[in-house]
Structure 1
Amino acid sequence: MTTNITSLSKIESILLSTLSAEGKNIFTINDASAVLEKGKTEIRNILSTLSKKSWIDRIERGRYLIVPLEAGVERKWSEDSFIIASHLIAPYTISYWSALSYWNLTEQIPRTVFVASTHRKFTEQKKIVSIPYRFITLLPEKFFGIKTIWINNKKVNITDPEKTIVDCLDHPEYCGGIVEAAKGIWNGIKDKNIDLKKVTKYAVRINNKAIFKRLGYLCEILGIKTEQSNTWQNNISKGYSLLDPTLPDKGNYMRKWKLRCNIDKYNLIEWKEH
């Protein structure tokens, strides 16, 4: 049976087998140079050949992904998207809608991987092996609440459940809108996966008054009673904020929480009926 898997030369085989043995399925030009003890010009030529043979994929400048034998004759393969994200920028953390999904705070599985960093990426969006990546630049004071998880024996940074909720309330546009944030709060409380006292502590650190407004209103309409409500009320500003900044600036004003409710209550919690 014929296949389109092109054979490896001895030096190519040494490179890929060594990198794989070291757990470097994603590697840099420097990694390859260290294995083969050759100059970067020669290494680039070798990597170019491997890419043409479909044994590696270039995920960005100077960084490559090994395509293993399991990819089959069509050579279609992708490392876990969170692992790829961990190699794209530093420091980093998986965040917003991606973290919301990982912690089972929503049933939605976003196609885009959301990555937060204190460094600015040259491009805010990038597609790698058909997966879109979205980079969000945070101020250093907002870069906290990060946990380390393990995926395929690789360490990956991700915001903890409470920070994920606060981030989504801070920027609903990065989590699919305020409805997804509402789901996150409801599921987190129902499954005892979030601590509202910790959520409050994080919200104070971020210092965006709209977080307290959205949090208080959502808990109220979801029927979640908490002693934290008074703290949230004391931290709201006098001006009105949009409940969902991804939607048009219209709707009724909610005086208690200083919100303009630009999505009606039914559409906000309709998902609870299913």
Structure 2
Amino acid sequence: MKKDKDIDMQNKKTRKGLSEKEISLISELELNQTYFFNLSKITQYFKNENERNVYIHNLRKKGRIVKLNKQKYFLIPIKAVGNNWSEHPFIIIDEIMNGKNYCITGMAAANYWKLTDQIPQVFEVWNNRTHKRIKVLNTIIDFKKHKIADLPQGIKREIYGHKFIIAVKKETQKWKSH
């Protein structure tokens, strides 16, 4: 009998239920197909900033949203099985960088231009703001800080209806041999 109780307790710990307010917020964002959102977009659902921050914290803890930068979040849809969801890495990078002052380089760019068949494990991004390596939605992104003048020449491209900036094919030749 004790084993059944232990298993039951484990299930309760891993089960991540959503409150009515959390479900209404998630379903409203999904209905509008707003998977990337700023805090300002959801302010009207809450009485004050403190309540909003509590709900954001709880949704992050439950794995329903992922923080991308100081103000931007990604909603993991309710239809995601087991909180597992995949978004194209180029879209994630563009959303993190707010669409400016960055360039996707390295093996990711070489693979995009079909200079190599190797699928990148790490997506290298040159930018002028931050130097760090992060993991977002099972995607490893390596940000390398450079002066804007040192960023490789980039071109805006589109994938799944979302624009991103990637190094031009000529600039990408040097990563072909790696």
**Offset of residue 26 of structure 1:** 2.1
Bigger Rg, which one: 1
Q: Distance in 2 between matches of 1:21 and 1:61?
A: 24
**2:141 is the alignment partner of 1:130:** no
Note the 1:263-274 alignment, pairs <5 A.
none
For residues 58-96 of structure 1, give each alpha carbon's deviation from its aligned partner in whole angstroms, at most 9, with x where no partner exists: 344443221113321x21113211111112234222122
Q: 1:6 aligns with which of 3, 17, 26?
A: 17
Q: Distance in 2 between matches of 1:38 and 1:103?
A: 48
Consecutive unaligned residues of structure 1, counting only runs of 5 or more, are 169-174, 181-274
Q: Which has the higher strand share?
A: 2
**2:40 is the alignment partner of 1:30:** yes
The 8 Å contact of residues 101 and 148 in structure 2, kept in 1 or not, is answered as no
Distance 1:52 1:142, change over 3 A: closer
Distance 1:28 1:4, change over 3 A: same
**Offset of residue 154 of structure 1:** 1.5
Partner of 1:159: 167
Consecutive unaligned residues of structure 2, counting only runs of 5 or more, are 1-10
For residues 25-59 of structure 1, give each alpha carbon's deviation from its aligned partner in whole angstroms, at most 9, with x where no partner exists: 122322322x5264322211111222233322234
SS of the equivalent of 2:143 reads strand
Q: Distance in 2 between matches of 1:112 and 1:120?
A: 19
**Offset of residue 109 of structure 1:** 1.0
SS of the equivalent of 2:63 reads coil
Partner of 1:107: 117
**Offset of residue 4 of structure 1:** 4.4
**Offset of residue 106 of structure 1:** 0.5
Q: 1:86 aligns with which of 94, 99, 118?
A: 94
Larger RCO, structure (CA 8 Å, separation 6 or more)? 2
Distance 1:120 1:52, change over 3 A: closer
The number of residues matched between the two structures is 164
For residues 177-215 of structure 1, give each alpha carbon's deviation from its aligned partner in whole angstroms, at most 9, with x where no partner exists: x723xxxxxxxxxxxxxxxxxxxxxxxxxxxxxxxxxxx
Q: Distance in 1 between matches of 2:35 and 2:160?
A: 11
Q: Distance in 2 between matches of 1:128 and 1:16?
A: 20
**Offset of residue 112 of structure 1:** 0.5
